[in-house]
Structure 1
């Protein structure tokens, strides 16, 4: 029986099943892969040698030859890192990302898209000037590239290597590594600029608690009060300002290993980077859904810079009351942004 007979719903469920299959297949292969790696990486090492490694008492054959280094090439900390990465970080990523994809699909099927409460008025309010929009889309594009290449580095060999073979896989992993390493620092710098630019809109307010209590309008009647940024947007901002900057900082540690970082520091940076990046990727999927398919009119704010009055009243009523006298007819805009854009946004103080 074909899912196509059920129209878009069947197609959506089929797509979700295929994605989850790709995400959840790696654990079965991972165990065999890691055991095989452990068996072949240090062939011929006896239990006595392992005991020496754990105690740190090994001869020069197992010692790092770099100047002033006292690390063992075979060491217990490396095994601890491998176990944490393979048994905790990798499964966490599958649960977080795969679970979010499933949750979004179920939410869309059960609840559907959030439509505007009234017809559009045709009068527009400036929400984001051209500079912020350009910065947002640059950071968003880099985030997506880094997320995809990072997922490939972590799980790709369990999916693409069996499908396409070693030759294609070698090219794919090399390209992913280069893109991830070189674009990561650029993303970090631009993220800091973006966070600094929109900080003034994201200070917590008392009415944000009510926004969360009502689930952003999903619980009870009507829509909770919100200023320029609602509670959910502020939560995303502070996740980026905390976990996001932790991912950036740990990425710099990994990207530039020539500043005296110890091996233990690099291992912990790798774990922090993985957990933070996977968690942010999962939350970002929700952010993308709400800003595009999930809510009518939301995407317009970051494409044209303007929103309809009805959208503003529905989602950011406190902000609307402050700036409603600045509404202009849609036909009078004449472009994505005008010379007065920056001043107009400045007048739109957060509620």
Structure 2
């Protein structure tokens, strides 16, 4: 009986293989010694048991990516974000808010049109959504999984991933539109260097010259235009893996995406601080579109002078009745 079973198995095996050429068949190997495992660790390629395939037993590049992500990007990002928040908190406690040196005049100047405010807040909403979901993808498991358990965490991370993947392309489009819209206002000028030398006017009593956009706003713009484009490019590679990307391409795109995104988030903390708690009157400008003349004179004196010169050259113009867009064009630097 045993002999019959042996013969039957020998007769059926080739037929089963022919019916399923991609199926796995076992293969006896010799002694597995230190040299064998050294080859495995080094990623030496060989033929596996599947039809027409060539793989390494351990993907060394995948392990390299894991080490970079877990040992460098994850803790480094935590230090960068936490460090930036700590610096801003200490600065606020020591220096306080950058208040106006003189009372408000009650006269308002249009700084941002309705379209520009809509673009800014749309981009800000998309950015914050991506920042929150990205942080959750990187560190959320250390908090939510331990607190709420695996089932909650699994559903949460799936929703987070879907939101992140779909919001990413929208952010890409909006960022490019914003960069194109405000390119002319953010071209570097000589007085921007002096603005940085004097600490950007953040210290009380110091107000360096600044046009419509000061040196700090221009720096944020060009960080978005460089690091932000790295985030976009790497994110699209990860979001649409249908153009022949290899596993190595995806892993390195993930590394660049993580590093660039964490840099943007860290710098955005400074932008948000200055635009809210750090500077009196700054948030009002992006909320209503208008700023007090005292604020404009203190923080953007060159722009203030240009606007007043334009008004003097055209006394018939009435800023109170002019449409937002036309008035804004009058108040933009040439």
Aligned pairs for 1:165-204 (under 5 A) are 165-204=149-188
Question: Hey, what does 1:57 align to over in structure 2?
Answer: 45
Deviations 1:145-166 (A, max 9, x none): 1001000000000111111111
CA contact (8 A) 1:53 1:72 kept: no
Question: Hey, what does 1:347 align to over in structure 2?
Answer: 330
**Divergent runs of 4+, >3 A:** 61-65, 70-74, 218-221
> In 2, Cα distance between the equivalents of 1:196 and 1:183?
20
CA contact (8 A) 1:149 1:177 kept: yes
SS at match of 2:109: strand
Question: Hey, what does 2:4 align to over in structure 1?
Answer: none
CA contact (8 A) 2:109 2:290 kept: yes
In structure 2, do the counterparts of structure 1 residues 124 and 74 end up closer, same or farther at CA, with 3 Å as the change threshold?
Answer: same
Question: Hey, what does 1:117 align to over in structure 2?
Answer: 101
CA contact (8 A) 1:214 1:220 kept: no
Q: Decide which structure has the larger Cα Rg and report it.
A: 2
Q: CA RMSD in A?
A: 2.4
Question: Hey, what does 1:148 align to over in structure 2?
Answer: 132
In structure 2, do the counterparts of structure 1 residues 163 and 349 end up closer, same or farther at CA, with 3 Å as the change threshold?
Answer: same
In structure 2, do the counterparts of structure 1 residues 140 and 218 end up closer, same or farther at CA, with 3 Å as the change threshold?
Answer: closer
Aligned pairs for 1:235-274 (under 5 A) are 235-274=219-258
Q: Which runs of 5+ in 1 are unaligned?
A: 1-44
In structure 2, do the counterparts of structure 1 residues 198 and 313 end up closer, same or farther at CA, with 3 Å as the change threshold?
Answer: same
In structure 2, do the counterparts of structure 1 residues 60 and 166 end up closer, same or farther at CA, with 3 Å as the change threshold?
Answer: same
> In 2, Cα distance between the equivalents of 1:88 and 1:178?
26
Question: Hey, what does 1:161 align to over in structure 2?
Answer: 145
Alpha-carbon offset, residue 220 of structure 1 = 8.2
Question: Hey, what does 1:277 align to over in structure 2?
Answer: 261
Provide TM-score, normalisation by structure 2.
Answer: 0.83
Deviations 1:308-328 (A, max 9, x none): 00110111000000113659x
CA contact (8 A) 2:43 2:57 kept: no
CA contact (8 A) 2:235 2:253 kept: yes
Question: Hey, what does 1:6 align to over in structure 2?
Answer: none
SS at match of 1:233: helix
> In 1, Cα distance between the equivalents of 2:167 and 2:94?
38
In structure 2, do the counterparts of structure 1 residues 179 and 305 end up closer, same or farther at CA, with 3 Å as the change threshold?
Answer: same
> In 2, Cα distance between the equivalents of 1:228 and 1:179?
36
> In 2, Cα distance between the equivalents of 1:247 and 1:315?
31
CA contact (8 A) 2:74 2:138 kept: yes
> In 2, Cα distance between the equivalents of 1:108 and 1:240?
25
In structure 2, do the counterparts of structure 1 residues 275 and 61 end up closer, same or farther at CA, with 3 Å as the change threshold?
Answer: farther
Alpha-carbon offset, residue 89 of structure 1 = 0.8
Alpha-carbon offset, residue 60 of structure 1 = 2.5
Q: Number of paired residues?
A: 296
Q: Which runs of 5+ in 2 are unaligned?
A: 1-31, 313-317
Alpha-carbon offset, residue 222 of structure 1 = 2.8
> In 2, Cα distance between the equivalents of 1:141 and 1:71?
44
Alpha-carbon offset, residue 117 of structure 1 = 1.0
> In 1, Cα distance between the equivalents of 2:120 and 2:57?
43
Task: Say whether residues 1:233 and 2:221 are aligned partners.
Answer: no
